[in-house]
Structure 1
Amino acid sequence: MQIPEGKKIYFASDNHLGAPTPEDSLPREKKFVAWLDEVKQDAAAIFLLGDLFDFWMEYRRVVPKGFTRTLGKLAEITDSGIPVYYFVGNHDLWMDGYFEEELNIPVFHRPQEFTFNKTSFFIGHGDGLGPGDNGYKRMKKVFTNPVCKWLFKRLLHPDFGMRIGHYMSVKNKMISGDDDAKFLGEDNEWLVAYCKRKLQEKHRDYFIFGHRHLPLDIQLNDSSKYINLGDWIQYYTYGVFDGNNFELKNY
């Protein structure tokens, strides 16, 4: 993608709308929608790197109640011709066509590579990557197994299924990531280790992830950086690339 003069690429992650309750998250949702309204003025594209919702499960003809302001604003943005890209996180693994069909937003379940103005980006949510975290990796295989998803949707009424999913998202530490929301030191950051391993295969200028809920800007070598976008719960941080430089900013 060649970024037009005066335009920018925006990145955000980890809003966890609906947590701990829809009422409590409503002010955060309104703040995020206000941000979307501002950045659409000069956005060449917007990347949302997962966990927009604290729990999201799509049945064949049912989607979660709520988040009307966010979904409406995203529809407005894509209808205006600004592309939006979505990467599923560990709280919204179960997206299954709604964003693509209703909002014209491509949804990615694995990290992807992009090039903007000859600058290379490796972009993803970040869960289940790098060394360790074996308990969550096993759990993710179960959650994404087609048979398990089919049984969940067929055996549980959506009202009951959504209640269970929301409870698990808040209470299960392997899913919620509460234990991860502190800096471990560069040598112990597993996403840093993952990025360094990927650099041995191929150069990328920027590795952009969410999931950690921490705004991080770490130099991997002389010409490559790892960026974590933080969250919209405590930090309200986002990334912006103007075609030359990448910055983490606070809203």
Structure 2
Amino acid sequence: MTINKKIYFASDQHFGAPTIEKSKIREQKFVAWLDTIKYDAEVIFLLGDLFDFWFEYKKAVPKGFVRVLGKLAELRDSGIQIHFFVGNHDLWMRDYFESELNIPTYYEPKEFTFNHKTFLIGHGDGLGPGDKGYKRMKKVFTNPISKWFYRWLHPDIGIRLAQYLSVKNKLISGEEDVKFLGEENEWLVQYCKKKLTEKHYDYFIFGHRHLPLEIAISENSKYINTGDWITHYTFAKFERNKLSLENFKN
């Protein structure tokens, strides 16, 4: 890492929910945060669910989100590295971010190393034991045949239907799972502990839970959940060899 530069992590903005009007207020706040970090950011990780729904047709993408997309384009053009992990709400992303914004897109957790510290980074959905209902549903959503049939819906119908289900279906929205369950019941904690038996990681960083969490997995390994930009407005920051969980107040 460059001296005096930092790495930032944020997730679960869910732009588009619960309404476009209310979403724009949060979008402006997120863009303001991006403006504050652009002076010292070397890398920005967006850990999924940037949108409450995103589906890429071959020749169309959902309308809106101009401010955040424009800001990401500006930061990327300035030389800041940006990495995007798809979440359970924007898992139908294809190559739009890569082709239009030059932002690589990942569908599974990925390992990175900064300042001799190893990170395992991802969105977090469907990892660890349990959550069987969502895992079954994700298999249907990501099935190539399901996606092929869905593309035959006119975007005005397909996007409206998906936005309705995204907000109303608690299995998708995660509304039933917004409280700390205790370490023994936190699936991502169990996932991190299992991964640690296979290889050492200094930091596990995920989103999805909508809860800012900082939990020691071992004496020298830590799990961080970046929270959300709906209630908490939290993010993680790595500076030199220190990772902190912080709140944006604006």
Band of TM-score, shorter chain: over 0.9
CA RMSD of superposed structures (Å): 0.5
Q: Which residue of 1 aligns with 2:247?
A: 250
Distance 1:116 1:10 in 2: 12
Displacement of 1:146 in angstroms is 1.0
Residues 1:76 and 2:74 are matched in the alignment: yes
Which amino acid in 2 is paired with 1:118?
H
Residues 1:219 and 2:216 are matched in the alignment: yes
Residues 1:28 and 2:14 are matched in the alignment: no
Displacement of 1:171 in angstroms is 0.8
- The 5-angstrom pairing of residues 54-203 of structure 1 reads 54-154=52-152, 156-203=153-200
Which amino acid in 2 is paired with 1:199?
L
SS in 2 for 1:179: coil
Distance 1:243 1:198 in 2: 25
Identity of aligned pairs, percent?
67
Distance 2:224 2:240 in 1: 16
Q: Which residue of 1 aligns with 2:4?
A: 6
Deviating 4+ runs (over 3 angstroms):
none
Q: Which residue of 2 aligns with 1:18?
A: 16
Displacement of 1:144 in angstroms is 0.6
1:195-229, CA deviations, whole angstroms, 9 ceiling, x for partnerless residues? 00000000000000000000000001100000000
Which amino acid in 2 is paired with 1:74?
L
Q: Which residue of 1 aligns with 2:227?
A: 230
Distance 1:128 1:146 in 2: 19
**What TM-score, normalized by structure 1, do the two folds share?**
0.98
Displacement of 1:174 in angstroms is 1.1
SS in 1 for 2:176: helix
SS in 2 for 1:178: coil
Displacement of 1:240 in angstroms is 0.3
